[in-house]
Structure 1
């Protein structure tokens, strides 16, 4: 049976990924910093309370995976935080660093410890969750956009380094995903721009060709596909699941 680790897997997109992989017959291991959310997940999933920006904790997680599973077939480096919503001159350095630590360094650390397992096995798949903010930029969200651009460069490099060992690496760039985290973004962005929450929401939706927000399951199904044999020659790719963004920041 195939084995997948999903970071930030207890809720939102990560949980949708875990459900999609389980439906496809995978063994699922989720890691999350939210202990309460971890408790509210299916009993059949392995679970670890981990801060993905803490190298000691990540190292211990992969040691446990090695001991209990003997290896790993897929990694979904999905952990991310929204970071501050403010003009660049108003962003505090510590807020910048906290955002980059989770979004970029968290993906790096997961890949760092997954790579030896996959290289030894001669196969594996890594999927990193970026964002359309990593393709177009994102006004008032400089640290988030910078980190999401950076994980694309990281993943393309992983595809080059690990390809000779049979390991693939790809990026998913979700658009605006329905859910509690996006609701917080909408409220903060509305305040920063002097707009209503509904106007910001409509701006995101109307900025896509399909006129719609994304659901977690849309991203999850792409992750499951990229880790499957159906995508055996897909590597180093950046795939948007966003309804096709035609205007990344309407009404600004």
Structure 2
């Protein structure tokens, strides 16, 4: 199995790489910083919103591998934490560019490779913000809703070629990026970081944050033959979010 993972240098993407590698897959990751990528993985430093860079990446992949079995379009940024009237257009565009346009470009260049072989699976990382929306996170929520719309369209377009597309919606995932979100929300709302953390956890029926490995395990399933007829689906890995904004 040949797998490419965008934003695979750390966090959820890195966990995906580990999980696929544990299944014997060949792993290729992209990120702005690939210095921590383990020996044995392919790695390319590229900005997922750079069309020329992404085109060159997939050309190299085709030369090296001759095809592609699984795309994990995982790259994302948190974007600003602010009321919609306080969001700068520049910040909006930067958030949408990585989260949505990055997924589009990955799918754009992966599709021809998969079509030629008549098989493949695309796993797009959305978010529970792409299901419910989130106050103070308008750019991020809009982009993640867009990822789901993109995935649904990919499933319809590519299904006749034997290609599946699904979206994973992580909830609050333990890690450095979520810590940044917690700190910004705490500052914006005059709360402590721990109070915001507790609010996120209490908004799930399992009263828990998610580990990156939980999301990675779902990606491996969706990329496998065990999910051969699973396509066009939005699957949350979030401990069951009951209230999308328990802090308000």
TM range (shorter): over 0.9
Q: Over aligned residues, Cα RMSD in angstroms?
A: 0.5
Look up the match of 1:67: 63
Quote the Cα distance in structure 1 between the aligned partners of 2:217 and 2:103: 20
Verify: 1:6 aligned to 2:2, yes or no: no
Instruction: Assess if the C-alpha contact under 8 Å between 2:173 and 2:212 holds in 1.
Output: yes
> Displaced runs of 4+ in structure 1, greater than 2 A?
none
Quote the Cα distance in structure 1 between the aligned partners of 2:37 and 2:146: 31
CA deviations over 1:64-108 (Å, ceiling 9, x no partner): 001111111000000000000001000000000000000000000
Quote the Cα distance in structure 1 between the aligned partners of 2:11 and 2:179: 12
The runs of 5 or more residues in structure 1 that have no matched partner are none
Matches within 5 A, 1:144-159: 144-159=140-155
| Post-superposition offset of 1:251 | 2.4
Quote the Cα distance in structure 2 between the aligned partners of 1:241 and 1:157: 22
Count of aligned positions: 248
CA deviations over 1:93-127 (Å, ceiling 9, x no partner): 00000000000000000000000000110000000
The runs of 5 or more residues in structure 2 that have no matched partner are none
Secondary structure in 2 aligned to 1:211? coil
Query: Normalised by the size of structure 2, how large is the TM-score?
Result: 0.99
| Post-superposition offset of 1:194 | 1.2
Look up the match of 2:137: 141
Look up the match of 2:212: 216
